[in-house]
Homo-oligomer: A and B are copies of this chain.
Amino acid sequence: MGYNALLERMGAVNDLLCAGSMLSWDARTMMPPGGADTRAKQMATLKVFARNHLVADETRRLLDAAEAETANLPEDSVERTICTQVREAIDYHLRIPAELVQRRAEMGSKGQHIWAKARAEDDFAAFAPVLEATLELNREMAECIGYEEHPYDALMYRFEPGETVASLRPLFAALRAGLLPLLRAIGEKEPPRVDFLERPFPADKQLEFALNMARKLGYDTNRGRLDLTVHPFEISFTRNDVRITTRVNGEWMPKGLFGTLHEAGHAMYEQYCDPAYTRTPLATDLIGLYAVGGVSFGAHESQSRLFENQVGRSREFWELNYGELRDAFPEELAGIDAETFWRAINRVRPGLIRVESDELTYDFHIMLRVDIEAALIDGSLKVADLPEAWNAKMKEYLGLEVPSDRLGALQDVHWSSGQVGTFCNYTIGNVMAGQLFAKAKTDDRVSRGLAAADYVPLREWMTEHVHRHGRRYTREQLLERATGRGLDPVPYVEYLTAKYSAIYDL
């Protein structure tokens, strides 16, 4: 009785959060421009109601009853896991004063205007006060959330629970050790030909082909749809409706295609969650207040990166699917063979902009940001010294001079909207993808499938070991169950080394 009633209340929380996501999807795809102001209020209200319903006295009463009722079940049973997660989420939200949540929300909209202007005018000093305020607010948040060693740990907790500055240190060191030599070696080689990707490809055909490939990988359009937006994203309103967006342009054809595969990877994590978890805390991020089934942002990113890069940019994939691409674009790809195409989409070119960076350099953009954020939060780096620190790291990692802050420390929107601690998940996703894909390929069905352009076995393997569990296990538990060990950079470094050695004849 207590447990079922608790589930019903959590179902309502999920409903409210799904509704919020729906409003967010619409705001980014369909909404007429006039709707923005009142839409923002509606989305804020839904989040407040979800939070209040979660922490309400009645929920806590039912939680007490549910805990008593399920006390004799195994500790890792679904029932007790749910109770533990609800307890943890309530404690979390009650530690954060409503006033602080409010200030954070207000800072978001104000800060973004100042940032946009400062970036346009390449004026870091104009942005500095916003960043100071963001940092102060996040330090306050960290104190409320609590941490053992470093305040940045508390900030990462919302996105990548369990990850700490201390745990990232050896991970980043291993990546630098493994990837910097690779990057240096590639820098001395002739780059592959890419000119044909810069031709205009008809937008509707790009979309059609991308969606076909996404379907082939397992994205279920009976429970999803693909639309065009400036910034691609994936969003879900239960596993039954998981939508993706992409953008196509005439300058760089891979953007739309791989953007689609990336978001489809995210989407499958949601679509293949155990249906029994629908509307439960195992498909709801009660800490971040999002209706999401993935266990962490990093785990989610592992699925997008795996299908985008490790599958979608592999030689094997294009040996099998290039014919279909060329049939769709016979003129644009005239005279280009599968091998040439595959090399082109894997071109490595260190650049200043994170969102435009390639598979190999992406992690350096992340490590740079995470180290800088942690140092800003603990005060070991002053805001005024940020551009210098940024530019020094850029030089150290990618060998690039940063000609202006617009292309450096002012490039990301995150800080202006009050967010700190959201970057590490991209690299964790890459590492985790490497680990999961290496393990999956040891399964005969999976490897035979990959060799025959049949991606169902791979998707099923991921569903069995990742998707279906939703938020039942921690990221580390999930990895241990799937691969026999916690997060381990070795397979990822090996994968990148093998791939780029082949492309660049290292």
Please, which residue of chain B has its CB at the minimum distance from the CB of A48? B12
Docked complex Cα distance between A240 and B34 (Å):
5
Q: Are B46 and A222 neighbours in the complex by a CB distance under 8 Å?
A: no
Residues of B within 8 A of A18 (CB): 38, 42
A430 to chain B, nearest CB (A): 30
B26→A22 contact, CB < 8 A: yes
- Does A11 contact B41, Cβ atoms closer than 8 Å? yes
Complex Cα distance, B34 from A32, in Å, reads 26
A16 touches which one: B22, B36, B46 (CB < 8 A)? B46
Whole-angstrom distance between the alpha carbons of A33 and B225 in the complex? 10
Which residue of chain B has its CB nearest to the CB of A15?
Answer: B45
Interface size on A, residues (CB 8 A): 40
State how many angstroms separate the Cβ of A484 from the closest Cβ of chain B.
35
Contacts of A19 in B (CB 8 A): 19-20, 22-23, 42, 45-46
B237 engages A42 (CB within 8 Å): yes
Task: Determine the chain B residues whose CB is within 8 A of the CB of A241 once the complex forms.
Answer: 31-32, 34-35, 38-39
A225 & B46 in contact (Cβ 8 Å cutoff)? no
Chain B residue, CB-CB nearest to A37:
B240
CB of A35 within 8 A of CB of B279, answer no
Tell me the bound Cα distance from A284 to B29 in angstroms: 26
Q: Does A220 touch B at the CB level, under 8 Å?
A: yes
- Contact between B38 and A278, CB atoms less than 8 A apart: yes
Contact B26 A45 (CB under 8 A): no
* A49 at interface by CB-CB < 8 Å: yes
Once the chains are docked, how many angstroms separate the CA of A279 from the CA of B31? 18
Copies assembled: 2
Known contacts: A12-B45, A15-B46. The answer to whether A222 contacts B38 by CB under 8 A is no
- Which residues in window 209-234 of A have CB below 8 A to B? 220-225
How far is B42's CA from A37's CA once the two chains are assembled, in angstroms?
Answer: 23
Q: Let me know if A422 is at the binding interface, CB within 8 A.
A: no
Q: Tell me whether A1 is interfacial, beta carbon within 8 Å.
A: no
- Cβ–Cβ < 8 Å partners of A346 in chain B: none
User: A416 on the interface (CB 8 Å rule)?
Assistant: no
CB distance from A486 to the nearest CB of B (A): 34
The answer for the CA separation of A485 and B170 in the assembled complex, in Å, is 82
Q: How far is the CB of A42 from chain B (nearest CB, A)?
A: 4
Q: How far is the CB of A225 from chain B (nearest CB, A)?
A: 5
A30: chain B residues within 8 A (beta carbon): 30, 225
Contact with B along A369-387 (1 / 0, CB 8 A): 0000000000000000000
Q: At the interface, yes or no: A463 with Cβ under 8 Å from chain B?
A: no
Known: A16-B46, A38-B18, A38-B279. A224 touches B32 (CB 8 A): yes
Asked if A238 is at the interface (CB within 8 A of a chain B CB), the reply is yes
Assess whether A237 is in contact with B32, with CB atoms less than 8 Å apart.
no
Closest to A29 in B: B30
A-B contact pairs, 26 of them (CB 8 A): A12-B48, A12-B49, A15-B41, A15-B45, A16-B45, A16-B49, A18-B38, A19-B19, A19-B22, A19-B42, A32-B221, A32-B222, A32-B224, A32-B225, A32-B243, A33-B222, A35-B223, A35-B241, A36-B240, A38-B238, A38-B278, A38-B279, A39-B240, A41-B279, A49-B49, A49-B53
Q: Which 8 A-B pairs have the closest CB atoms?
A: A35-B241, A34-B223, A15-B45, A38-B238, A15-B42, A34-B240, A34-B222, A19-B19
